[in-house]
Amino acid sequence: MLPPQLRTRRISDPYVIFYDIAQSKTYRLWLPYMRGKYCRGSSHGWLVLEYLPRVSLLNPITKRCIDLPSLDSPPTLLRDATSKRMRSVPSNQHKEFCIKKASLSCTPSKPGCVVVALFCLLSSNWHLGFCRIGDSQWTKLKQDAGLVVRDFAFYNNLVYTVNTQMGISVYDLQGCPLWTFPSKINFYYNYFPTQIKLVEGDADSSGPLIVGTLRLSGVIICRYGVE
C-alpha cells in the first residue's frame, strides 16, 4: 500500500516506502524508474505511473515495466492548452498529470487484463477510459451527459461508476453500459456530498459500497448490486 502523498506529488526520491498492512511492516525499495513520475494507482501488486503523456505499469518487486498507450495517441484525450476550459484556469493551477485514478482488472500476467482510468476534467476531454495490455490507444467509456464521474471500482469483471448525485452505472469490459441505477438518496439544499468513493465489495457481497461525505459532517453509505 502506498502513502497517500504519492498520489498528488511527483516522486522525487528513487527510494519509495511501502507499508504491508497484513504484517504491519514498512519496506524501503530502490525504484529509480519511479523518479519524476506520478503514481496514479496501485492494483494487484502493480503501480500505475504517469509522466504526461506517458503511462506505464511497474511491479515494485520484480521491477518489470509495461508501457500503456500514450495519452496523446489518436484519438487524443488531452485538452488543448488554448481550449476555453484551460484558458479559464490560471496556468499555475494546471495539472502536471491527467489521470486521477487508475486500477487493473487483474494482474497483467493473466490474459485480458484491463486498465481503467478516471481522468482529470481540467486536463482531459474524457471522464473515463480503458485499455488492454498491448493496445495502441485508450477507449472511451460513455456516460450520461452532464453527470461527472466521481469514482469507479471493479467488481465481478464489471466496472461500477458513481456520479456526482451518487447514481451508479455498470459497464462490461467492452466499454458498453449494461445497467444504470439512479441515486437512492434525495438531496436538497446543502446536503450534496463533498466526497464520493466506491469501496469494492467482497466475494459474498452483491456489489461495491458507495461512501459519501456530507458538508454537515455526515456520512452516507449505500449499496447497489447486479444479480
Q: Is 129 exposed, middle or buried, given 0-12, 13-18 or 19+ CB atoms closer than 10 A?
A: buried
What is the pTM (predicted TM-score) of this model?
0.76
pLDDT of amino acid 141 = 82
Domain regions of the chain by residue span: 38-140, 148-227
The 10 Å Cβ neighbour count of residue 65 is 13
pLDDT at 177: 59
pLDDT value of position 73: 80
CA geometry: angle at 187 spanning 186 and 192, to 5°?
145
CA distance 108 to 68: 11
CATH of domain 148-227: 2.40.10
What is the reported pLDDT for 8? 59
Residue with cell 450520461: 144
In the chain, where does DSSP find H-type helix?
84-87
For residue 123, count other CB atoms closer than 10 A to its CB: 22
- Each residue's pLDDT, cut to its tens digit, for the chain (227 residues) gives 554 445 557 888 888 888 877 888 888 899 999 998 999 998 999 999 999 889 999 999 999 999 999 988 876 777 654 444 444 444 444 457 789 999 999 999 998 899 999 988 777 778 888 999 999 999 888 766 667 888 888 877 788 888 877 777 888 876 555 666 555 555 444 455 566 767 665 545 555 555 555 444 455 555 555 44
* Beta-bridge partner residues of 19: 26
* Rounded-to-integer distance, Cα 114 and Cα 44, Å: 12
